[in-house]
Structure 1
Amino acid sequence: MMNNLFNDSEMTLSEHFEELRQRVLFSIIFFVVITTLNFCYIEPIVGFLQLPANGIKFLQLAPGEYFFSTMKISFYLGLVLSSPFFVYQILVFITPGLTQRERLVIVPLIISSIVLFLFGLSFCYFVLIPAALTFLISYGSDLVQPLWSFEQYFDFILVLLISTGIVFQIPVVQVVLSILNLSSSVKMLSIWRYILVFSTVIGAVLTPSTDPVTQLAMSCAALFLYFVGIVFMYIVEKYFLKIEYQ
């Protein structure tokens, strides 16, 4: 695998296009296979996603609601599970055209992006979703009986998962800004007060529910990732861009 990743053999323009076509085709086939397998084993997947809503009875409020919801779940899960293969195909295609110095940053940056996205999904499933559901279920439980639409519940889960995965890309965006010389760790650190307010806005906008628990957790995660990104920016500036700090 590593030999393929750092293959420096010269290729003609037509060979590059042919390689790109093959890698896109392989990625599409891999995605279709994974999505199909997800749909074939959708019952345990649905059961796993229902675990945070323990004790809630789900209803199918329209014909085909469960079917179309499971197709949607299979599609998005297929994207997530296929992403490591997509990243590998991208790396194999672009690395021959990069210098050794560029590889030291670009390759780890792409890999870090997918790892952070997966960490975001885990944080959402184990922290944000239980916190949101606990608040929403307990609030007014003495007056109303929670009977939820199957489709609306999974739309809520999917939106929250994707939003959290995007928020976890903050350090990657910061490092890219540093490499492009559009910002620096010093500048980022100097505006932390504004970021504190901005992270609150992110928590309010990206969370599909209006409960304060989920918004606060999302805001804290965004603020923490911002400071982690500053650390990574400093490392890149110090050891890759060779910026000297007085």
Structure 2
Amino acid sequence: MINFNFLHNPIIILKLTFFEHIIELYERLVFIIKLSILLIGFSFLKVYKLISILKYPVQNIKFFQFSPNEYFITTFKIAFYNGIFFTSPFIIGQFIIFLFPGLKKKEIFFILLLILSSIILFFLSFIFSYYILIPTTINFFLNYNETIIEPFWSFNQYFEFICNFFFNTGLIFQIPIFQVILELFNIIPFTQILYLWKYIILLSTILGAILTPSTDPLTQIFFSLVLIILYSFGLIFIYLIRII
């Protein structure tokens, strides 16, 4: 079984002096900053491609800007968020290497597997939002007011709207990771997490109705099933931890 006692008593004997740790932290921060600037700059060079991707769910909508520089500022925001997003795995990796230099190979492997699972789940949440959740929600709002209001949208507000969807759905897709963390830190034991299945079904039904404001019941049911699958995946992950 993998030993996770370091989570409850994180006292690690370090061979480096305090000053050497400061230098190491500085070097890692410099690496992260340089990588972030590089990825943000590359994202800005490809910003029009990113914009075309973001506009795909609403191809028939015309956008406008409230001020002369609104669209220009929005392109910077898109490049910045995209650069930080792709830098985040390296930030987490550098953070773990710095804080836990005394981990065993099995412990490092398991934590990296947990991080990789988190990244994969986040990408899956992005795909789910982009192809299912956002188009369904936008079509609902368009059909709701199509006979009264002409749909002219601010691109900046549209960008913030879909970013909220990406962020909220990304958090929801981290349910298995949260379950594992609660188990590892003994905040909520496995038996209690397993007992919560009735409340998870109720919560998934409520979130399915809120996050998919469509009259189509199939979309709501599909979203609820996704949440239940994520919860079940977290239980399987915890069970594998306990038997390793």
Identify whether the pair has TM-score above 0.5, normalized to the shorter chain.
Answer: yes
Deviations 1:70-97 (A, max 9, x none): 2221121111111232233234334522
Q: How many residues align?
A: 229
Greater relative contact order (CA < 8 Å, ≥ 6 in sequence): 2
Q: Does 1:52 align with 2:96?
A: no
SS in 2 for 1:154: helix
Tell me by how many angstroms 1:143 deviates: 3.7
The one-letter code sitting in structure 2 at the alignment partner of 1:26 is F
In the other structure, the counterpart of 1:121 is 126
Asked if the contact 2:134–2:162 (Cα under 8 Å) also holds between the matched residues in 1, the reply is yes
1-structure distance, mates of 2:49, 2:112: 35
2-structure distance, mates of 1:212, 1:80: 33
Asked if the contact 1:171–1:229 (Cα under 8 Å) also holds between the matched residues in 2, the reply is yes
- Unpaired segments ≥5 residues, structure 2: 1-13
In the other structure, the counterpart of 2:80 is 75
2-structure distance, mates of 1:226, 1:143: 42
Tell me by how many angstroms 1:36 deviates: 2.0
Q: 2:43 aligns with which of 17, 38, 41?
A: 38
In the other structure, the counterpart of 1:161 is 166
Q: 1:106 aligns with which of 111, 122, 125?
A: 111
2-structure distance, mates of 1:169, 1:177: 12
Instruction: Give the 5 Å matches for 1:145-224.
Output: 145-203=150-208, 207=211, 210-211=213-214, 218-224=223-229
In the other structure, the counterpart of 1:13 is 18
- Unpaired segments ≥5 residues, structure 1: 1-8, 240-246
The one-letter code sitting in structure 2 at the alignment partner of 1:150 is F
Tell me by how many angstroms 1:31 deviates: 0.8
In the other structure, the counterpart of 2:27 is 22
Instruction: Quote the sequence identity (%).
Output: 37
Root mean square deviation, CA, Å: 2.5
More displaced stretch, 72-81 vs 91-100: 91-100
The one-letter code sitting in structure 2 at the alignment partner of 1:52 is P
The one-letter code sitting in structure 1 at the alignment partner of 2:31 is F
Asked if the contact 1:53–1:130 (Cα under 8 Å) also holds between the matched residues in 2, the reply is yes
